[in-house]
Chains A and B, each alone.
Chain A
Amino acid sequence: MAIQTPSFELGSPLVQPTAASASRGYWQSVARRLRRDPVTLICAGTLILIVAASLAAPWLGLADPYKTSMIRRLLPLGSPNYLLGTDELGRDMLARLIYGGRLSLFMGVTPVVCALLIGGLLGITAGFLGGRVNMLIMRVMDVFYAFPSVLLAISLSGAMGAGTENTLLSLTLVFIPPVCRVSESVTTQVRGFDFVDAARASGAGTLTIVRVHVLGNVLGPILVYATSLISVAIILAAGLSFLGLGVKPPEPEWGLMLNTLRQAIYVNPVLAALPGVMIFITSICFNLMSDGLRAAMDVKA
């Protein structure tokens, strides 16, 4: 956009911009920047592939992920009919890995979404209102912060007992404080801008100001941060399952599979590592995509 200085006198014709180009909205310029970032695009593509495969698992013509066979235990990769071999109970690994993605991704995304809603609300409230409200909310969050997140998740799950719901609950609780803290800091920053003061000076209500002027400016950074948390959530959920605190067998879930295949590590190490590879690929994709999004959304033009 060419910057031009209009010559203005009252009565003179109105100023015309030199370039009559169509105005580009914020999200359009983000999309344009993303298109030039191959790493983010590859990560996003991989994630879409994994998510789509997991969602479409029943219709992919895969073997039954629960069907065991004592004869075909621990077949190596590339065996006929078993592309990725079989696990310690003779179940098809390919089917289990794809089906396992359903639970693993669900366990990764759900707590982050819940934490995003609760922590985001708390953080934006604390950031915008400031003062005592901020003090109250943030000091409570600090209490949760005092524990390492893995330890907190393990102790919460341990106290509530194993199971999918309890894992989700404990992971949500683990993620609320960091989401809250990030939301609070970006909201505090946005609140300091003059346009928020100008909105207050116009006599608009607090909710209107938050909706129109604050949310649009804080959601981006908060969402980017939440994306990076998904990878942590997947790893934590897998870790809980590995410890026997998460999903119960025979459900296919990457962390649990990693745990049960542990015994086979001397017999068929490649096979035993496969669920780990899936966890690794998914979480690194989420991380790199979050980095790419952050870069693309950092508008300083």
Chain B
Amino acid sequence: MDTMIPVDRGGPAQPLLLATGLRKHFPVGGGILGRGRKVVRAVDDLTLSVAKGETLGVVGESGCGKSTVARLLIRLIKPDRGTMVLDGDPVDEPHGITVNELRRQVQMVFQDSYASLNPRLTIGETLAFAPKAHGLPAAEARERVRDLLSKVGLDPNNYAERYPHELSGGQRQRVNIARALALRPRLVILDEAVSALDKSVEAQVLNMLVDLKSELGLTYVFISHDLNVVQYLSDRVLVMYLGKIVELGPVEAIYGNPQHPYTRALLSARPSMDPRKRTKEAPIQGDPPNPIDPPSGCRFRTRCPFAEDVCARAEPALSDTGHQSVACHMSIAGSGHSKAVRGGAAAA
């Protein structure tokens, strides 16, 4: 039993998960022998770290690669390139830990609460599956199931023998969260975990997530397109656009002082409760460009009101501005952009 409780190894300062240069391109179409094959650049050279005990929010439009990031972090899909380090241990490398060990400590909650539960298994069987697969005896697994169900606020006597179709969406999502906790992970990836729930149930589940986090000492990667939910839950926020990070920083900095035009547009596009705070900046228009053939340079330039020549020429690196990191030429001194901080003279 004790072996199932992951131990903290590197101390609180060491990031729990460090992903460097993650890249995933999906091939589409093309001939039989791969001639003329195109790729969807779902995630392109993404580097992120998740500190112990924090909640990292990931936001972005549909199709920007949020879910791919989730699946990469838990290795449901294999990255084309990039490394991952879990609390000091490289993943899937000669001297590191195996993918299976990674999955013991990193678990995921899926968006579709119905599709993520096997319709032929009872809730109890679903929850017991992972512990049993890791060798927990049946009696202990049963005990674990009862424990998990009460943790997520479902009465074990009533729910363990039920089938998924007998539960409501909120109850099913509680079961999914319980399943993710079954192996006592340290990091839980929540991929749009509350997006499909109606607002009142969403609030209950969110509160439960907050409580579980402090109770079990969890770390969350919270992926959502709902900016308000991310603001409520996150310590740090990562904004993605077309498979790349455009802005990354503490939640106060991102929401209070967004630097990247895309982040600003996202934030201004969310409906406000206050009639005095009307949308001032024109919200971005149109759909994101096709990720098969993303724009050169800065990927946002086709929809950016401040785009200049330099944006098409060079790709802005993610650079620190003091409070947060931004990938925009306007935030890089001397980038050649007319609005860049001090001195647009020196073209890099």
Measured CB to CB, the residues of A under 8 A from B are 1, 3-10, 14-17, 20, 23-26, 193-195, 197-205, 208, 212-213, 216-217, 299, 301
Contact = CB atoms under 8 A, between A and B. Distances in A.
A205 B132 CA distance: 11
Nearest to A195: B118
B115 A194 contact: yes
Given A5-B168, A198-B110, A203-B101, 15 more contacts: A5-B201, A7-B204, A10-B153, A10-B208, A10-B211, A14-B155, A15-B155, A17-B162, A20-B158, A194-B116, A203-B130, A204-B130, A208-B133, A213-B129, A301-B165
A6 B108 contact: no
A13 to B, nearest CB: 9
Contacts of B129: 199, 202, 204, 212-213
Nearest 7 Cβ contacts at the A-B interface: A202-B130, A194-B116, A204-B133, A216-B120, A14-B155, A194-B110, A3-B168
B76 interface: yes
B148 interface: no
Interface of B: 71, 74, 76, 100-101, 103-104, 107-108, 110-112, 115-122, 126, 129-130, 133-134, 150, 153-155, 158-159, 161-163, 165-168, 170-171, 176, 179, 182-183, 200-201, 204, 207-208, 211
B154 to A, nearest CB: 6
A217 to B, nearest CB: 6
Contacts of B162: 17, 23
23 contacts: A1-B166, A6-B171, A10-B208, A15-B155, A15-B171, A25-B163, A193-B115, A194-B116, A195-B115, A195-B118, A197-B110, A198-B110, A198-B179, A199-B130, A202-B134, A202-B182, A203-B103, A204-B129, A212-B118, A212-B129, A213-B121, A217-B120, A299-B119
A203 B76 contact: no
Nearest to B112: A194
B133 A202 contact: yes
Given A5-B170, A10-B211, A195-B118, A201 B76 contact: yes
Contact of A203 (B134, B150, B168): B134
A121 B150 CA distance: 40
Contacts of A299: 119, 165
B30 to A, nearest CB: 15
Q: Which of A4, A17, A198 has the most CB of B within 10 A?
A: A198
B120 A16 contact: no
Nearest to A4: B168
Contacts of B150: 14
Contacts of A26: 119-120, 163
Contacts of A9: 204, 207
Contact of A8 (B71, B101, B107, B208): B208
B118 A217 contact: yes
Contacts of B100: 203
B67 to A, nearest CB: 11
A202 B103 contact: yes
Nearest to B74: A201
Nearest to A215: B120
Contacts of A25: 163
A7 B208 CA distance: 11
A23 B121 CA distance: 12
A93 B275 CA distance: 91
A195 B122 CA distance: 13
A203 B104 contact: yes
A14 B161 contact: no
Contacts of B182: 202
A193 B176 CA distance: 14
B18 to A, nearest CB: 20
Contacts of A212: 118, 121, 129
A201 B118 CA distance: 14
Contacts of B115: 193-195
A260 B274 CA distance: 91
A25 B25 CA distance: 42
Contacts of B130: 199, 202-204
A8 B204 contact: yes
A25 B208 CA distance: 29
Nearest to B99: A203
Given A5-B168, A23-B166, A195 B116 contact: yes
B135 to A, nearest CB: 11
A205 B155 contact: no
Contacts of A8: 153, 204, 207-208
Q: Which of A200, A201, A212 has the most CB of B within 10 A?
A: A201
Contacts of A208: 133
Contacts of B101: 203
A15 B179 contact: no
A195 B110 CA distance: 9
Nearest to A214: B118
A203 B167 CA distance: 26
Contact of A197 (B76, B208, B211): B76
Nearest to A205: B133
A299 B133 CA distance: 28
Nearest to A21: B166
Nearest to A2: B168
